[in-house]
C-alpha cells in the first residue's frame, strides 16, 4: 500500500471512529426528545384537561345548589349545560389513556342528569323535602363519584408521568454514558492509529536521514534498513538512494584514482624542473645574469610549491583510501624541543614571540607516528605564524589529561569569521582572512591534519575570534593504535553492519 493510500485509509478510519459515538449520542438525544414530546403532548395536556374537568365539576356543584334554591328553568338549563361540559371533557380523557376515569365520570353524569331533572320538578312543586332527599341521596353522591374519578385519574397520570420522567432520565444517562464510552474508545483508537501511522512514516524518514548523513560524511557503502521492494514511496526512495550511493562510490573511486595517478605523474616533471633550475643556479650551463637568476629562483620556488601541493594531494588520497599510521614510541619532551628549535628561527625572523610550554605530569614517552604528528603541529604552527603580525605571540602548550595529551596552538593573529570555523577542516576551503596571511596556501593542510589526528584516535577542534586570535586544540591518547583514517573506519563499520 502506498503512503498516500495509507494516509487516506487512516483518515477515513479516524473519521468513522469519531462518527460512531456521535451517532450513539444523536440516537440517545432523539429518544430523549421523543420522551419529552410525549410528556408535553400527552401527560402535560392531560393534566391541564383534568384541571378543567375539576373546575367544571365545581361549577356543576354550584349549579346544583341553584336548582335546589332558585327553582326556575334557567337554573335547570344551567345545570344541564354543566353536565354536558363535564361529559365532553370526560370524553377527551380517552385520548390520553384515561378511559376508566372517563367511563366513571360519564356514568356519574348520567345519574346527575336524571337526578337533577327530578330534583328540579320537586323544587318547582314546592316539595322541598323530596328535592333535598334527591340532592343528598342521588345528585351529590354522583358528583362526588365524578370528583373521585378525577382524583384517581390524576393519581394515574402522576404515576405515568413519573415513569416517563424516569425513562427520560435513564435515556439521557445512557446517552451520556454511550457518548463518554464512545469518545474514550475513539480517543484510544485514534491514538493507536496515530502512533502506527507516525511510526510507519517517521521510521523510514529517520532511516533516510541517517543514510544521508552517512553519505554526507563520505560513507558511500551505507545500506538502508528500508527494502527497495517495498510497495510504497519509501521503497522507491530506497531504490533511488541505493543507485545514488552506487554512483557516488564509483565517482569517488574515479576521483581518488585520478588524483593518485595525476599526482604520481606530476611528481616526475616537477622534480625535473626543480633539478634543472638548481643546475641553472649553479651555473652548470653557463653564467646567468642577475635577471635570469631571479627568474630561475622564482621557477624553483613555484616548482617546490607544486611539489608540496602534489604531496598533500597524495596524502589526502592515501588517507581516504585507508592508509595507516606508523605508531612507535616517541620521547615527548625531545619531540617538543625539536619543534621549538625548528620554529624559533622563523619567530626571530618575523619578530614574533614563540613559546613552547610543557606542564608537569606529562608522560615521558607516547605511542604516536612522530613524522605525521610533526607534520600536524608544524602545519598548525606555520598557519599561526602566517596569520600573526610582527609583535604578536604564538604559543604551543602541552598538558596531561585523562590518559591523553592535550596540545594547544594559540596565536594572536587575524582570527577566523565565526560562520567559517566549522568548515576550516574541509578540503580546499580557505577562510576570508587570507589577505592577512604572509604567504598563500592550498587549503589541504588542515584537512590532512584532521585525518592524521583521527587516525591516532584523537580529536582536533578550533576556536577563533576575528581580531583576537585562534586556538587549535588536539587531544591524543598516550598510546595510539595503528589504524586507518576515520572515514575508512566508518566505511568498514557500515559494511560489517
Boundaries of every domain in the chain: 3-193, 233-320, 328-481
- Per-residue pLDDT of 73-90, as tens digits, reads 888 888 888 889 888 988
- Contact at 8 Å (CB) between 308 and 266? no
* Same topology between domain 233-320 and domain 328-481: no
Q: How far is CA 466 from CA 126, 411, 472, in A?
A: 136, 12, 14
Cβ-Cβ contacts under 8 Å for 130 (sequence gap 6 or more): 122
Please say if the pLDDT value at position 494 is more than 60.
Answer: no
Residue predicted with more confidence, 57 or 120: 57
Q: How far is CA 482 from CA 142, 242, 314, 451, 476, in A?
A: 124, 32, 20, 13, 13
Q: How far is CA 214 from CA 180, 187, 222, 268, in A?
A: 49, 39, 7, 37
Give the three cell numbers for residue 115: 337526578
Give the three cell numbers for residue 475: 587531544
The pLDDT assigned to 495 comes to: 34
The pLDDT assigned to 321 comes to: 58
Q: What's domain 233-320's architecture?
A: Orthogonal Bundle (1.10)
Q: How far is CA 461 from CA 281, 286, 416, 423, 458, in A?
A: 43, 52, 13, 11, 10
The pLDDT assigned to 458 comes to: 92
Average pLDDT of the residues of the chain = 81
The pLDDT assigned to 475 comes to: 94
Please say if the pLDDT value at position 486 is more than 60.
Answer: no
Other Cβ atoms closer than 10 A to 81: 13
Element (H, E) at 329: strand 328-331
Domain 328-481, classified CATH 3.30.565.10, yes or no: yes
Please say if the pLDDT value at position 267 is more than 80.
Answer: no
0.75 cut: is pTM over it? no
The model's confidence at residue 436, banded by pLDDT at 50, 70 and 90, is: very low
DSSP strand pairing (469-477 vs 365-368): unpaired
Q: What's the whole-number mean pLDDT along residues 54-61?
A: 89
- 3-state secondary structure (DSSP) of residue 20: helix
Amino acid at each position: 500500500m502506498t503512503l498516500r493510500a495509507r494516509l487516506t485509509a487512516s483518515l477515513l478510519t479516524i473519521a468513522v471512529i469519531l462518527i460512531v459515538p456521535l451517532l450513539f449520542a444523536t440516537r440517545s438525544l432523539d429518544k430523549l426528545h421523543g420522551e419529552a414530546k410525549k410528556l408535553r403532548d400527552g401527560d402535560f395536556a392531560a393534566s391541564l384537561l383534568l384541571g378543567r374537568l375539576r373546575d367544571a365539576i365545581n361549577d356543576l356543584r354550584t349549579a346544583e345548589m341553584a336548582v335546589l334554591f332558585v327553582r326556575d328553568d334557567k337554573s335547570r338549563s344551567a345545570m344541564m349545560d354543566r353536565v354536558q361540559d363535564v361529559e365532553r371533557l370526560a370524553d377527551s380523557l380517552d385520548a390520553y389513556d384515561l378511559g376508566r376515569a372517563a367511563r366513571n365520570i360519564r356514568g356519574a353524569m348520567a345519574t346527575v342528569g336524571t337526578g337533577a331533572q327530578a330534583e328540579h320538578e320537586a323544587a318547582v312543586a314546592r316539595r322541598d323535602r323530596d328535592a333535598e332527599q334527591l340532592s343528598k341521596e342521588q345528585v351529590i353522591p354522583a358528583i362526588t363519584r365524578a370528583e373521585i374519578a378525577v382524583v384517581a385519574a390524576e393519581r394515574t397520570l402522576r404515576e405515568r408521568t413519573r415513569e416517563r420522567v424516569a425513562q427520560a432520565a435513564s435515556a439521557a444517562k445512557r446517552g451520556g454514558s454511550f457518548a463518554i464510552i464512545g469518545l474514550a474508545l475513539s480517543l484510544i483508537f485514534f491514538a493507536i492509529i496515530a502512533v502506527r501511522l507516525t511510526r510507519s512514516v517517521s521510521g523510514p524518514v529517520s532511516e533516510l536521514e541517517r543514510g544521508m548523513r552517512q553519505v554526507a560524511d563520505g560513507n558511500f557503502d551505507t545500506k538502508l534498513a528500508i527494502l527497495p521492494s517495498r510497495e510504497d514511496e519509501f521503497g522507491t526512495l530506497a531504490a533511488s538512494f541505493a543507485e545514488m550511493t552506487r554512483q557516488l562510490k564509483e565517482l569517488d573511486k574515479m576521483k581518488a584514482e585520478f588524483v593518485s595517478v595525476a599526482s604520481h605523474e606530476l611528481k616526475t616533471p616537477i622534480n625535473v624542473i626543480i633539478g634543472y633550475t638548481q643546475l641553472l643556479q649553479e651555473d652548470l650551463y653557463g653564467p646567468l645574469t642577475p635577471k635570469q637568476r631571479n627568474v630561475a629562483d622564482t621557477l624553483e620556488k613555484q616548482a617546490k610549491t607544486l611539489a608540496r601541493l602534489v604531496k598533500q594531494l597524495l596524502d589526502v588520497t592515501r588517507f581516504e583510501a585507508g592508509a595507516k599510521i606508523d605508531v612507535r614510541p616517541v620521547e615527548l619532551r625531545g619531540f617538543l624541543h625539536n619543534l621549538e628549535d625548528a620554529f624559533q628561527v622563523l619567530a626571530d625572523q618575523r619578530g614574533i614571540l614563540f613559546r613552547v610550554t610543557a606542564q608537569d605530569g606529562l608522560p615521558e614517552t607516547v605511542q604516536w607516528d612522530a613524522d605525521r604528528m610533526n607534520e600536524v603541529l608544524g602545519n598548525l604552527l606555520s598557519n599561526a605564524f602566517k596569520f600573526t603580525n610582527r609583535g604578536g605571540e604564538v604559543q604551543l602548550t602541552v598538558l596531561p589529561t585523562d590518559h591523553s595529551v592535550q596540545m594547544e596552538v594559540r596565536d594572536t593573529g587575524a582570527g577566523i569569521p565565526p560562520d567559517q570555523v566549522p568548515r576550516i577542516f574541509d578540503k580546499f576551503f580557505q577562510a576570508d582572512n587570507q589577505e592577512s596571511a604572509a604567504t598563500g596556501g592550498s587549503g589541504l593542510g588542515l584537512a590532512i591534519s584532521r585525518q592524521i589526528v583521527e587516525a591516532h584516535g584523537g580529536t582536533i577542534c578550533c576556536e577563533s575570534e576575528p581580531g583576537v586570535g585562534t586556538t587549535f586544540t588536539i587531544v591524543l591518547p598516550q598510546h595510539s593504535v595503528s589504524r586507518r583514517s576515520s572515514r575508512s573506519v566508518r566505511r568498514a563499520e557500515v559494511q560489517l553492519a
